[in-house]
A and B are shown apart, each in its own frame.
Chain A
Amino acid sequence: MTIAVIQEEYRGARKWSRNRQAVATVVWISFLSAAIATMLFFALFDPVELMDAFDIDIGRQGGYALGFFFFWMLSALSSGVTAWLVRTAPKRGQRRD
């Protein structure tokens, strides 16, 4: 090669397996959904006031974190089950074992 090039390696630039794609996509998309849900939810409700109702006290920032992980878990569960059902559904014309 005659062209001067600054070269570098991409460690991650490889093809991912379907399972890896699915897991990464589920985790990432549910993360984004959870971020939006957390933003909307806590714009309307103050975690401190909510915690009063449930008689727990982990502080406002603890409330935000709890809310975020709750939303993440919920949306990951939904995305995960959806992805799993779509991928494992019997395909038309496919012989069953």
Chain B
Amino acid sequence: MAAPAEKRGPEAAPMYESAEKIYPREIGGRFANLSRLATTVLLGLYYVVPWLTWDDRQAILFDLPARKFYLLGLILWPQDFPYLAMLLILAALSLFFFTALGGRLWCGFACPQTVWTEAFIWMEQWTEGTRSQRMKLDKAPWSLDKLRRKASKQLLWVTFSLWTGFTFVGYFTPIRQFGLDILAANVGGWTLFWSLFYSFATYGNAGYMREQVCKYMCPYARFQSAMFDKDTLIISYDAKRGEPRGGRKRSADPKALGLGDCIDCTLCVQVCPTGIDIRKGLQYECIACAACIDACDSVMDRMNYPRGLVRYTTEHAMSGESTHVLRPRIFVYATLLTILIGALITSMATRTPVILDVIRDRNALYRELPGGLIENAYTLKIINQSDHPRDFTLSVAGIPGIVLDGVEGKVTVAGGGVRALPVRARAKRDAVQGVAAITFTAVATDDERVARTEDSRFVGPMSR
């Protein structure tokens, strides 16, 4: 959209910059291991969870076609929407809390973008080899070997993406049935569409866009600095110790040469996936992947210098002051989180697993019956939110002598089921004038605490 106008603009930029391909190194070390672990655990959870069962059904299923969410033993309905809203607020607050405390731990180790990118890089390494092999491969003319390597990378990527898309849809529609449908080549249009959509997004984001998403497209990356203070954990280069930087022999004494501990090997820059130089200070592009820490530690080890020239630290610690973990900001976030979690748990624990919807018949205001009776028609919708069948008794109140017609005795509603009942309420003509407020009540026969009362209106003639 902006392209044509921009081209005519004074600072016309070409549509595609002739970009220099960056080949960051990957380096082993403590944080690389941690990130491998995080990726394995998180991806493992993602791919395994839809296959877990609970009471002969999928344990976690956001069944959109049926408008029901199954969370282990819990069944949530559209009416339980406040829980969803609370969960979202909870997630946002947790992100604030952990950002204030630990900086961009989320970015470096838990963000789906990071995690899937990591997995895609593994596949790239298995098929195309190390950095130098890959650089050589890209420069080399097409050969059988190049074709084989590139093709097997694409095969792995595409297969993995498709499986990811399949799993994603498996959270929203029963995955076993979906799998069988695929095998039988009998897949509904939308399920197929969404699984391909998600596959494609995974392929593009983790295979090609990678850290560009963090740099240019992620709002969190831009606003996380607002949650930072001088006590937040950051990755930082110890300039006091490192400067003046410069090359030297391993045997040389840096003090005699007037040098700091940084040997200016630029390894920290080479490993950075976003291409920044951590020695220039904290930059918003830094996703806190800690690759530079691993790189620098390995160099320090070789030089027999102490580790930690680049390390996790805080601004306060860097300037020689003490770091306060417990500070007002942390208390505020923690208090809000505690209150919200408490409220969520309480409301979930005390939730009555029945919902009663009362819909007044819109076609007729009222009907006059012989014998001086007025009748109003309603549709009662009873939703049994537990996962076993239940019997309910229905009643109406609010006008002296009002009775319910159309329900004989108990009403059985299947577990997780909805039952719609057309009913009529009748009252004596002299008991009602104009509009009166009435209430309908549904009570479970096996447990009278499982009850819901809903308000409605009863309409009668204006004059007696």
Q: A: which residues have CB within 8 A of B?
A: 1-26, 28-29, 39, 43-44, 46, 59-62, 64-65, 80-81, 83-84, 87-88, 94, 97
Contact = CB atoms under 8 A, between A and B. Distances in A.
B84 A6 contact: no
Contact of A10 (B2, B28, B210, B219): B210
B2 A2 contact: no
B25 A64 contact: no
Given A13-B274, A24-B216, 20 more contacts: A5-B130, A5-B271, A6-B25, A8-B26, A9-B21, A9-B131, A11-B210, A12-B207, A13-B273, A16-B212, A16-B215, A19-B6, A22-B2, A29-B219, A46-B78, A60-B65, A61-B65, A84-B2, A87-B2, A97-B10
Contacts of B132: 7
Nearest to B81: A43
Interface stretch (B99-107, B121-129, B231-239): B121-129
A19 B216 CA distance: 11
A94 B10 contact: yes
Given A9-B138, A19-B15, A3 B299 contact: yes
29 contacts: A4-B28, A5-B27, A5-B131, A6-B27, A8-B26, A8-B131, A9-B134, A10-B24, A11-B21, A11-B210, A12-B207, A12-B208, A13-B212, A13-B275, A15-B19, A16-B215, A18-B13, A19-B3, A20-B15, A22-B2, A28-B217, A29-B219, A46-B78, A61-B64, A62-B190, A83-B2, A84-B2, A87-B2, A88-B6
A13 B211 contact: yes
B400 interface: no
Contacts of A62: 190
Nearest to A18: B13
B20 A6 contact: no
A3 to B, nearest CB: 6
A1 B78 CA distance: 60
Question: Which one of A17, A22, A64, A65 has the greatest number of beta carbons of chain B within 10 Å?
Answer: A17
B80 to A, nearest CB: 9
A81 B125 contact: no
Contacts of B44: none
B134 A14 contact: no
Contacts of A23: 1-3
Contacts of B317: none
